[in-house]
Amino acid sequence: MRYLDSRKKILVTGGAGFLGSHLIDRLIARGDEVVCADNLFTGTKRNIDHLHGHPRFEFIRHDVTFPLYIEVDQIYNLACPASPIHYQHDPVQTTKTSVHGAINMLGLAKRLKARIFQASTSEVYGDPVEHPQTESYRGNVNPIGPRSCYDEGKRCAETLFFDYHRQHRLDIRVARIFNTYGPRMHPNDGRVVSNFIVQALRGEDITLCGDGRQTRSFCYVDDLIEGFIRFMDMPSGANGEPGLPGPINLGSPCECTIRQLAEIVIELTGASAKIIFLPLPVDDPMQRKPDISLARKHLNDWQPSVCLEDGLRRTIEYFDQLLSHGK
């Protein structure tokens, strides 16, 4: 359901990335004008090449740690490396992207009186002792570990968003994203779905960290983007008050073990791969599953509709074409 009827000019930071490019496609398809801002650290122009020359699309190469002066109606702040390999490559810059990026985008939204969306993460829950995770759970996060640049950077960004909401009555939307997969994932991002698929398609053994009993809940990208848009398009409150700020969990409540995921990928690709077990990374969560009751209640009964096997088939097809072209 769309609540905002008029065409909007929308800024998407991190728009050349996996999630950002899918979001832009949806916004363009419904008639909006979109400005994509990305420094191309983990994003790639390949994800947005099909929009080159489109009259309602503009690309700006920009790092959100620096201010951006632009006129827009809404902002989706998705800029930040999201895979451990990428965000641990330059942890200081990762923290800057989350914190300085939030400050710059919130400052822009305040000046423009624009609604702003923050792509937060289930990593704010750390290695949870509550299962499944509700939005009221405050988390179990190591503030000084190798993953902290991302976990604590996103937690600080949430703090900034809610302080701007309280202090400046800014209309914010904060979504906590759980594991998402689909076409346009980076083939070398180190996340389990892309890792397993690429290894299987290349005829390599599947490398699995830990004993494989740790769990995740995987949401197909189209379902997640639908949640983004429903959340962002909710009307403001009475008398022009800001609407529901969140945080709201967005992800699949269907939990599976990492070993089960590896076995499904092997089956769907027809690979003859063996599973090789490697040490578990530091602070890697043992279980992750969202409680999506709030999303169902407030986002017109939103819930994922694409089952894991169907989503994996689509993702495998994408990576098969990508690898066959040597990209």
> Residues with catalytic annotation?
150
> 171 to each of 76, 110, 327, how far by Cα in Å?
12, 9, 40
Residue 31 CB neighbours (<10 A): 12
